[in-house]
Amino acid sequence: MEGKLVQVAVGRPVRGLFTYRVPETIPAVREGQRVLVPFGAGKALGFIMGEAREAPPGRLRDLSQVLDAEPMFSPDLLSFLQWTAAYYRYPLGEVLRSALPPGLTRPGEAPQSKPGVCELVCLTELARTEPRPRGVAMNAVLDYLATAPGEVDLEELATAIPGVRDPLKRLVGKGLCSLREVPLVPDRPELAFAGKAVPVPTSEQSAALVEIEKAVAARSFAPILLRGVTGSGKTEVYLRSISRAIELGLGALVLVPEIALTPQLVGRFRARFGEKVAVLHSGLRDSERLAEWRRLRQGEAPLAVGVRSAIFAPIARLGIIVVDEEHDGSFKQEEKLRYHARDLAVVRAQRIGCPVILGSATPSLESLANARGGRYQLLELTRRVDDRPMPAVHVVDMRVEGRGHVSAAFPQLAARSKMRALEARKAAEASAPYGEDPAARPPAREEIEEELSRGPPLLSEELRASLEDVLAKGRQAILFLNRRGQSTYHVCLACGRSVTCRDCAVSLTLHGTSNRLLCHYCGHTEPLPAACPQCGGPIDSLGMGTEAVEAELGKRFPAARVCRLDRDSATQAEEITALLAAFAKGEKDILVGTQMVAKGHDFPGVTLVGVLLADIALNLPDFRAAERTFQLLAQVAGRAGRGVEPGRVVVQTFNPEAPAIAHVVGHDYLAFSEHELALRRAYFYPPFCRLLAVRIEGVHPQGTAEAARLVAKAVGQAARDSGGALRLIGPAKAPFAKLRGKVRWQLLIKGPTARSLVPAAEAVEKVAEQLPGNARASVDVDPIGLM
């Protein structure tokens, strides 16, 4: 392309391709190469997409620089990324940039640390006595280091202060900072989960492997839904299928919901394939992620295991794709490029011609419908390994267990009950004296408040007895509650106002470790007020989270070794892996956690699983609420009884008749799916239609409402032009009407096919350019969350 015109996708949130001239100083360029181009008043990262047939009107500008000798993307991967950008209606340059690891996503960017080395920074003694140097950047570095308890990882410092290398170099030269390198020894605690011997396949595993290996050898597209009950050995099927692909000189990709939550899976892959495995996730240092990406691109590692972004991994001669727990919602990215990694896995497999395995004990209803419609091949593992029984599930109806639990599940009702109790006490104090009999005297106000402050019991009698039995036998238990924190609702007992986030329309959660209120959406934090800011009345904290459960267990079972797994107790992948490894080795008795305890764990010592409140997500205003509830309960129930001893599951609920809960008792996925599919068909929801969600956000309530009306008008015209093919719901305020300071509206569009929704999406994009009040509208193709 020397001296020619080329089309460039610019790594900015702008649509379309831009034409540039290749100057004579640049010998040649190829499709997929990174380039530096003039854009606006500055320069931007770009990607060569091919030759331009003619020059556009106006001034033509030259490429500034070619950043790499070789293209970043193979032809098939580049084509796949172009398809992704078109389907999810997102700027191509941004899609290409998001497919690269840190170190390659910005012009001139390089990892802040050296491969295989950890660089540690700290202040010197001289810095504590010498006057501060001039320069904002240098003082920012000094301020950051002054508050650190010791040495700081250079990557942490680079994240906090972009461009830190230059000011740090000057500070080291002045003797105010020291910088030392230490070898970075790969820490792989996941190998504790690797297992010892390779198991002999069961008859069902062998039958599934015959079909999968046939597709691998044929190098043909074969979408396979592997439905296997928990503990049936789906992972062994993955391992053997991938082993066959590697024997044939092919590469493999394994997608998991969250790499930090599945150390056992990574451990088993490393034990089986050793250094042939490259792991891709955000818990790695930037230099490590870049090194793993390069190993894959150069063919040094034929197998990638990673989270959703690994769908873009540059795997040479890709021969098989596995999506573990394919139903999991975390495969869908909810910001910017809103892609679904499971769906893209099917598309990528189709485009290159290889099998893709979608594995789950509780497949999504979309995947089940594809299997029933003949679009996917269905393979089933109906029995656990060694014919171990499924755990017995017992449902505890909390409506009859005790009224106290209402305050744990429904804090608003509990708050009203407390206010009525206090009002009754005031009325009693105003009545005639009760004489000298202490028994006749009503309890004092302080006594009432003390009794109320104790809160309800979190464990039913059946669950408490089961825990006592497990602990007495030296076995282990998992308690599941999908709420973090100490208490989740804080209300004034005088005026009834609740304490909410200033930037989001949600309640703040009290976290006991910091004794502060935290918003789980925007991160805003503030102290728990001593009194109501509105009226000065008393504030009461209600609702329960995992911290409250951990504290309750400490009181009831003081000898038990209790650990907690949620986003507060373990923030790094290494911490999560170490905690799970300790539990796997029997060093802990009870594991309390959120949905992090439900995914991918295999603990033979666990004979009891307790679900403290099964109703949390059941009645959310989302048509997938029941499906998600059933999947989560079935997954966490499957953690019990995976060893020699049978398992038991206790489910506490206020809605025992709900199909999502009732069918968990018999582990009856098919009965639940039949019931849910009938509802979806009746109300025209996926898998019987395709969805497009339109989200309108703005700072000003009135301007955002007007923007939503304009978007709905444009979409309504597209729906009328479709001849009735499209159905509209909304516009309406989103269930979370305000998040991160933005007012939120949404519109839902239903159509028979993905193609039928394109005119509606185009109408949104056209009207979005002229919305009032700085409002913004965006489309979400195939949304999975409607909150």
How does pLDDT run across 535-562, given as a tens digit for each residue? Answer: 888 888 888 899 999 999 999 999 999 9
Q: How confident is the model at residue 439 (pLDDT cuts 50, 70, 90)?
A: very low
Please compute the mean of the pLDDT values over residues 97-117 and round it to a whole number. 71
pLDDT of residue 572: 66
pLDDT of residue 431: 46
Please compute the mean of the pLDDT values over residues 293-311 and round it to a whole number. 93
Distance CA 326, CA 357 (A): 9
List of residues 6+ apart from 124 with CB closer than 8 A: 175, 176, 177, 178
pLDDT of residue 542: 83
pLDDT of residue 132: 87
- Residue 433 phi, psi dihedral angles, 5° rounding: -60, 155
pLDDT of residue 444: 44
Distance CA 58, CA 758 (A): 32
Is 485 in contact with 509 (CB distance < 8 Å)?
yes
Range in 143-157, 466-480, 597-611 the model is least confident about = 143-157
- For residues 412 and 751, the model is more confident at 751
**pLDDT of 136 over the 80 cut:** yes
Range in 38-42, 131-135, 600-604 the model is least confident about = 600-604
pLDDT of residue 141: 87
Please compute the mean of the pLDDT values over residues 389-403 and round it to a whole number. 86
Range in 11-20, 332-341, 523-532, 663-672 the model is least confident about = 523-532
Concatenate the DSSP letters of all residues of 185-251 into one string. ----GGGGGS-SSPPPPPHHHHHHHHHHHHHHHHT--EEEEEEE-TTS-HHHHHHHHHHHHHHTT-E
**pLDDT of 432 over the 50 cut:** no
**What tokens appear for 779 in the block?**
């489309």
In three-state secondary structure terms, 706 is helix
pLDDT of residue 746: 95
Among 465, 251, 255, smallest CA distance to 343 is for 255
Range in 272-281, 315-324, 408-417 the model is least confident about = 408-417
Please compute the mean of the pLDDT values over residues 311-335 and round it to a whole number. 95
**pLDDT of 188 over the 60 cut:** no
pLDDT of residue 433: 41
Concatenate the DSSP letters of all residues of 309-325 into one string. GGGG---TTEEEEEEET
Report pTM: 0.84
Give the tens place of pLDDT for each residue, 701-758.
999 999 999 999 999 999 999 888 999 999 999 999 999 999 999 999 999 999 999 9
Q: Which residue has the tokens 């003082």?
A: 139
**pLDDT of 690 over the 50 cut:** yes
Mean pLDDT of the chain: 86
**pLDDT of 96 over the 80 cut:** yes
pLDDT of residue 196: 52
**pLDDT of 574 over the 70 cut:** no
Distance CA 583, CA 56 (A): 64
| Neighbour-count burial for 244-273, b at 16+ CB within 10 Å, e otherwise | bbbeeebbbbbbbbbbbbbbbbbbbbbbbb
Distance CA 678, CA 672 (A): 10
Task: Give the range with max mean pLDDT: 2-11, 118-127, 397-406, 587-596.
Answer: 587-596
In three-state secondary structure terms, 692 is strand
**pLDDT of 453 over the 70 cut:** no
